[in-house]
Amino acid sequence: MLSESNNEKDNEKTGPENTVQPDDEQSSDTAAAEDPGEETEISLSFLVFDIAGTIFLSIVILLLLMALFVRQVTVDGASMNNTLWDGDRLLVQCNNYTPRNGDIVIVTHGRELDEAIVKRVIATEGQHIDINYSTGEVVVDGVLLKEPYVTGPSRSTMNALEMPLTVPEGYVFVMGDNRGNSLDSRSERVGLIPVENIVGKAFFRWYPINTLGSLDR
């Protein structure tokens, strides 16, 4: 009888403990349900930082590439009207550039010029150029140039070079598109431009915004 009574008491003691266990399990389940939410927030934070870091790194790399290979210049003057205008801002390819006929280039100076100028390449080394100063026609290697970009005929300038001529190795012959208001290779003051004095090729106009676009032909 005693042992049975004791057993009953033991059962009574253990009974409440059994009723507590579901509460423990429920609290454990609740905690488990909260953990994924915290992990999601942490994952999103890391994702945001990762994206921001990638964007920042991309901008740094782009700026470094531009510093090495691309320059920005601002047009000063009217010698390239109506292709370029005073105040236009251009991007210039500086490295690994070989002059080609028709390219718009930035040159550091001519014979008497200290500042960089922007002109168009008309003839490169080895080419034969002839300008008829009476008619304003330009002939390169026996072919009459079609120049829809010029504002007028190519007339003689002060101290003009004698025509025809063959461009020596390592030089280019350049002119502005505004032929009536351009100091360029026609004049002895500028003359033929050494290739090493070419800063690079202007390939893109980014300002004013309404004229934004490529300068390639």
Q: Which of the residues are catalytic? A: 79, 119
What one-character-per-residue DSSP string does 11-56 give? Answer: HHHHHHHHHHHHHHHHHHHHHHHHHHHHHHHHHHHHHHHHHHHHHH
- Gap between the Cα atoms of 3 and 12, Å rounded: 14
Residue 76, SS3 per DSSP? coil
| Residues 6 or more apart whose Cβ sits within 8 Å of residue 160 | 133, 186, 187, 188
Q: Give the pair of three-digit tokens for residue 2.
A: 């005693």
CA angle, corner 100, sides to 96 and 104, nearest 5? 90
- Tokens coding 209: 């915004």
Give the whole-angstrom CA distance, residue 164 versus residue 142: 11
Contact 195, 99 (CB under 8 A): yes
The answer to whether 75 touches 118, Cβ cutoff 8 Å, is: yes
